[in-house]
Structure 1
Amino acid sequence: MTAVASPDVVQRIGQTPLVELRSFSTKNVKMYAKLEWHNPFGSVKDRAAYWMIKDAEKRGILKKDKSIIIEPTSGNTGIALTGIASALGYKVEIVIPEKVSEETKNILRHLGATLHETSDDLCPRVGSGTDQSIALAKAISKPRPDIYYMPNQYENDANFLAHYESTGPEIWKQTNGTVTHFLAGCGTGGTITGTATYLKEKSKSIKVVAVQAQKNHLLQGLRNFEESAMPDLFKKRQSVVDEWFTATNKGSFDAARLLAEKERLLVGPSSGSVMESMLATAQKMDSGVLVGIFADDGRKFKSLYVREGVFTEQEYDRALKNAKHMSSLAYSLS
């Protein structure tokens, strides 16, 4: 059965909480997590999806009850686009790598998306010869521009603006301008470049750490820029990045487990990657305030975590039961 959210769900996008990771903060180095799963469809991608849809509406590209939105995605953008678009009266088709978790694909179907699966890695690759998901989405949409609209999160400036206009200002306000280090995982580059550009306009001394995944990774939502070319959206503003950190599968999963044990936070793999980078960055600091983007929680990743030995089924169920700061979602996970 398809679930369609109410149109007013978009009013819940943004203004996500910033929580201190007290088990990891010290007297002089404070660590904070921006909990993006508090967006209605459960991830940081709600922001970009909404900004891209509204931009297309303003430009007259989208027409209610006629237009179909199609997008290649590793999951969260697809969930956000499907949920928001369905609430606003549009149909959605998602081109998705088959390696994405079954929980994610079931959520997309539940929200009403038509899925086209490809044999890509976890993130649809950009660059010649490796972009099966992107190529398929373009092949479907290009012959019918009167019906199909592909937001193309990899090139769409509305993705950048979503974070320049919302995530960045929220972090600056929530930290009272004390943030010294900003860390975020990298997929399209919209989150890190949009947020960092705003923060650096407020204080040029803020250091920005970009988190990429190891090669051949299991970290849904992240990419490795040796395996896959950097998206055009990221290339435009990559100069805002001061340092790069390569997250490993093991380090990310260990950090996810540590967060469950120490902070009672059940996070997704890419949030574990950001935590891994925060711990490494903090070790090199005498003082400062670190803010990391925790893109989504762990509710979509039980099968992955059990398969990879991060948690047993019983440990996962216990972590979920005891988890703090869990949000209500605009869809059912069952």
Structure 2
Amino acid sequence: MVVLRGCEILEALKLLSADKVPVLQVDSSKVKVRSLQPGLKPITLETVIKAGIEGPRLPYRSFDAQIEEVPNIEVSLNELSIWKKVKERRLRVYDNTLELLYKDWPTPLVKLQSFSSEERSVWAKLEGANPYSNSVKDRIGWSMIMSALEEGRLGDILYEATSTNTGIAITAIANLLGRKARLFIPKTIQKASDVFLKVLGADVVRVPVGLTIEAIGEVDARSRAEGATHLNQFENDANFKVHLKYTAKEIDEQLESRGLKPDCIIGGLGTSGHMSAVSIYFKSKYGDTVKIIGVQPAPNEVIPGIRRIETGMKWVHWVDFDQIIDVKKNEAIEGALTVARREGLLIGLSAGAVFYAFAKVAEDKGVYVLIFPDTGYKYAEQFEEYFHSVQQC
């Protein structure tokens, strides 16, 4: 049993995580409201009532209220419904590490408050919440491997060309299935990637190319000659399918839970799997009321995880993009820094490019979804180089 009294009632209910709230009826003439923050326009009972009915909300702890002759309320904790059973998924208990991935979907969709307003809401889809590579690539690693396993073509050794994240995802899942991974990484990718992959037990081969896709021919030939399974994220439809079945649908249902539908979705183009699936899903459901924007590196720029359309993408040609935006590497880094310093999220360079593109096209109204593919922890070298270059200017 808990006893609640006076103005402490709401705070007590909040601390108890109560789902049900006792209701009191009082004579308004016996309610006294006092402003607590100097400099604000005096707050009256009428102001409080109007804010509660019409909004906007009053600033936190901007007033207090004293009510004469408030009776004590005796209510059991059970009546407040604080013992409501927590859903199993929220408890986050798993029978194996593979369940960490697919049983914890959807990944979070979070409102970026510092970039939102009363008429504009900006949401970030945080694919960095995936457990292995901390990136969107966990989805395709799982999908490609499970598809190959079901089709009876998953060999003992998996080959893949990767810029980092897909390689981490494939190696992690391969470990769980008793397989080995050999990964082919372009010379332009940060050295830290080799360390992460070797920790997981992958065989890492550096190849003298600038873009991951430029290594596909060599990887395909070597996998055939050596009897390995080449998953090939650039051509494997399991990539596209997992995003159509899960990623796009998650975004839709997450927004629907807040009574929203997107006006604009922005994401980077790498294999083009996730943004092509997002385009097909939302264009099919909502038509041209949803704007789909792809982000690619500017000419002669290298941003890990994304590339230019003309380098060859399978699924991007199946769908309609309303706009493609070019972003320079330093602009992507600056986008990541802005998000980190305004929202506290350490995002990767491709996510920084997505944010930079948003900043270029954003209007004052609408519902925007930014797909952030990964976190920023793998990109210390690029951040360090940027800070050094800024100091030299």
Normalised to the residue count of structure 2, the TM-score between the two structures is 0.70
Look up the match of 2:6: none
2:131 pairs with 1:40: yes
Cα distance in 2 for residues equivalent to 1:298 and 1:160: 24
Contact 1:79–1:107 (CA under 8 A) maintained in structure 2 = yes
Match of 2:367 in 1: 289
1:12 deviates by 4.7
1:156/1:233 contact within 8 Å kept: no
Alignment check: 8 A CA contact 2:293 2:322 kept: yes
2:296 counterpart (195, 212, 230): 212
Counterpart CA distance in 1 for 2:174 and 2:281 is: 27
State the alpha-carbon separation in 2 of the partners of residues 137 and 209 from structure 1.
Answer: 31
Give yes or no for contact 2:182–2:203 (8 Å, CA) kept in 1. Answer: yes
Please state if 1:91 is matched with 2:173.
no
Q: Does 1:185 align with 2:268?
A: yes
Give distance in 2, aligned partners of 1:185 and 1:88: 31
Q: Deviations over 1:87-141 (max 9, x none)?
A: 22211110111221122221111111101111211x323xxxxx2x212211211
Q: Is 2:109 aligned against 1:109?
A: no
Q: CA deviation at 1:62?
A: 1.1
**Alpha-carbon distance change, 27 to 6 in structure 1, aligned in 2, over 3 angstroms:** closer
1:24 shift after superposition? 1.0
| Native 8 Å contact 1:266 1:298 kept in 2 | yes
- Find the aligned partners of 2:292 and 2:388 in 1 and give their Cα distance: 29
Q: How does 1:139-178 map to 2 (within 5 A)?
A: 139-144=221-226, 147-176=227-256, 177-178=260-261
Q: Could you tell me how far apart the structure 2 residues matched to 1:311 and 1:58 are?
A: 50
Q: For residue 171 of structure 1, what is the amino acid of its counterpart?
A: I
Question: Is the Cα–Cα contact under 8 Å of residues 154 and 233 in structure 1 kept in the other structure?
Answer: no
Distance 1:161 1:311, change over 3 A: farther
> What RMSD over aligned residues (CA atoms) do the two structures have, in Å?
2.0
In 1, Cα distance between equivalents of 2:239 and 2:354: 20
TM-superposed CA distance for 1:61, in Å, is: 0.2
Give the aligned partner of residue 27 of structure 1: 118
Which one-letter code corresponds to 1:207 in the other structure?
A: K
- Partner of 2:212, secondary structure, is coil
Q: Could you say what secondary structure the match of 1:70 adopts?
A: strand
Deviation at 1:259, TM superposition (A): 0.9
Q: Distance in 2 between the 1:113 and 1:308 partners?
A: 30
Superposed CA deviations along residues 294-320 of structure 1, whole A, max 9, x for unmatched, are 0111111112101121899xxxxxxxx
Normalization by structure 1: what TM-score?
Answer: 0.82
Where 1:101 maps in the other structure, the secondary structure is: coil
Give the residue type in structure 2 aligned to 1:223: R
Distance 1:13 1:197 in 2: 24
Which residue of structure 1 lines up, in the alignment, with residue 53 of structure 2? none
Corresponding residue to 1:134 among 216, 221, 224: 216
- 1:124 corresponds, among 203, 206, 212, to 212
2:108 pairs with 1:17: yes
Q: Which has the higher contact order (CA 8 A, sep 6+)?
A: 1
Counterpart secondary structure, 2:121: strand
Q: How many Å separate the matches in 1 of 2:388 and 2:359?
A: 19
Alpha carbons 1:13, 1:46 under 8 Å: kept: no
For the residue of structure 2 that corresponds to 1:203, the secondary structure is: helix
In structure 2, C-alpha distance between the alignment counterparts of 1:37 and 1:203, rounded to whole Å = 27
Corresponding residue for 1:231? 313
* Deviation by residue 1:145-169 (Cα, 9 ceiling, x = unmatched): xx31111111111100010001011
Q: 1: CA distance between counterparts of 2:230 and 2:350?
A: 25
In 2, Cα distance between equivalents of 1:88 and 1:240: 38
Asked whether the 8 Å contact 2:330–2:386 carries over to 1, the reply is no
| Residue identity (%) | 33
Give the equivalent residue in structure 1 for 2:332.
252
1:30 CA drift (Å) = 1.3
Structure-1 residue corresponding to 2:154: 62
1:235-283 Cα distance to aligned partner (Å, 9 max, x none): 3x1x32111111111221111111111111111100000001111121x
